[in-house]
Structure 1
């Protein structure tokens, strides 16, 4: 009876540990944004200068801190929330500095008759200049972000890739290979070359290469053929300078058809190589964005 209790305790502990391991977590970077907000809220000069903007920043940071389960959609959502929260904190800080500068100017107006007028006016001018600089740097960083997003979208369009939950999916048809062969056809690598350029420009992204066939032949043969074709594409990318540890190759045979294999057109659609480019969430701080624009 005692042995059964011990075993039951171990099983219960294992279940509790498993539940803890899979518990939703706050998105990466949320704690850093919270730290920036706390510093602003604790500033004896700036904390009460822009209450409305500070309230909006608090709401954005609280939303960014909400735990999310570990999925691709939630990772992207969490990264977006952290990014928006970071921008709101920057806006609140800029507005607080600007209001502080304006308050200083008003105080200096009352002290024009004193000998400290020139020194106080210079201090207020510098404070206003700092506020204008912060606003300008923020605008420049946001403009750079928009330009980068536009460039990325243009490259995606050039690749003819499709955005999915798995990432960007580039589909290469059966014209890439001779029938029943894993050797790349000469002169049909233009899409692969565009992919090479994309992966070189975005070195933080990895790619999964998946080979597919029609249902002619048995499953084992088709799986082997699709594996060799995926490996041929991976080898080509490596030869063009893409690090091998960024690439995986998998043969899936005819197990995941796009169309019916009852027609030649359907079989042709099923003979393909799909390249899935991952899109890991990435939080860009304002200082990093400003530094990259210089």
Structure 2
């Protein structure tokens, strides 16, 4: 019982230190802050440290307290490192995507960009619309600056027409975005594409406004497995 209590105290202490060790410079701007006031960096560092403490204690059977401390420090630092990196990337994307029609969302350790159909492609077309080039150029510049995560591009359609046609169309649209980003210097090894057709609608397909929202391209940014973030 004493050992378990000591592990919890050690894990909690290191989690707090890990979370506070790398404050994000964007917290004061409200760009990378949770509703509770805790930055994403602190959250990831704290949770990572707690998980690392448990793992470290399990590995080091001879000295569980020491194992917990080492595990918390190692995993907590890595998690906080990506949180800090993502905070900076999120802030830069919000600035570059301002007034382009592209929405930037933060979902845990992932950043999602939602590109609505009214700026991306014409009806039943996978040719990039003129209004889409400027956001894509900004995106390419950002991806070259922040080059330490993977980029998944997913195309979506509304439910009009056959499912197979929509699946093919959404795949071509996602590929068109990938091809253009590559032509602008983004490393192709970071990119993956997927066509989701009418799946996962964000609005009702029963009216024109809802269908317009469902016709979109989403770009998901995720950490590279095993990557060390500073």
Q: TM-score range by the shorter chain?
A: 0.5 to 0.7
Q: Mapping of 1:34-183 within 5 angstroms? A: 64-67=52-55, 82=74, 151-158=88-95, 159=97, 160-165=103-108, 167-174=110-117, 175-183=119-127
Q: In the alignment, which residue of structure 2 is the partner of 1:4?
A: none
Task: After TM superposition, give the deviation of residue 64 of structure 1 in Å.
Answer: 2.9
- Closer, same or farther in 2 for the Cα pair 1:66/1:185, shift >3 Å? same
Residues 83 and 283 of structure 1 are in contact (CA less than 8 Å); yes or no, is this contact kept in structure 2?
no
CA distance in 2, matches of 1:62, 1:268: 44
Q: In the alignment, which residue of structure 1 is the partner of 2:171?
A: 227
Residues 159 and 198 of structure 2 are in contact (CA less than 8 Å); yes or no, is this contact kept in structure 1?
yes
Q: TM-score, normalised by structure 1?
A: 0.47
Q: Which has the higher helix share?
A: 1
Q: Mapping of 1:238-257 within 5 angstroms? A: 238-257=182-201
Task: After TM superposition, give the deviation of residue 155 of structure 1 in Å.
Answer: 0.8
CA distance in 2, matches of 1:268, 1:241: 30
Q: TM-score, normalised by structure 2?
A: 0.59
Q: In the alignment, which residue of structure 1 is the partner of 2:149?
A: 205
Task: After TM superposition, give the deviation of residue 179 of structure 1 in Å.
Answer: 0.7
CA distance in 2, matches of 1:81, 1:225: 47
CA distance in 1, matches of 2:50, 2:208: 55
- Closer, same or farther in 2 for the Cα pair 1:149/1:224, shift >3 Å? closer
Larger Rg: 1
CA distance in 1, matches of 2:86, 2:166: 39
Task: After TM superposition, give the deviation of residue 149 of structure 1 in Å.
Answer: 7.1
- Secondary structure of 1:193 counterpart: helix
The count of aligned residue pairs is: 160
- Closer, same or farther in 2 for the Cα pair 1:185/1:83, shift >3 Å? same
CA distance in 2, matches of 1:283, 1:177: 37
Work out which of the residue numbers 159, 163, 171 in structure 2 matches 1:215: 159
- Secondary structure of 2:160 counterpart: coil
Q: In the alignment, which residue of structure 2 is the partner of 1:16?
A: none
Task: After TM superposition, give the deviation of residue 188 of structure 1 in Å.
Answer: 2.3
- Closer, same or farther in 2 for the Cα pair 1:198/1:254, shift >3 Å? same
CA distance in 2, matches of 1:275, 1:157: 14
Residues 211 and 229 of structure 1 are in contact (CA less than 8 Å); yes or no, is this contact kept in structure 2?
yes
Residues 166 and 276 of structure 1 are in contact (CA less than 8 Å); yes or no, is this contact kept in structure 2?
no
- Secondary structure of 1:168 counterpart: strand
CA distance in 2, matches of 1:195, 1:258: 23
Q: In the alignment, which residue of structure 1 is the partner of 2:132?
A: 188
Residues 210 and 251 of structure 1 are in contact (CA less than 8 Å); yes or no, is this contact kept in structure 2?
yes
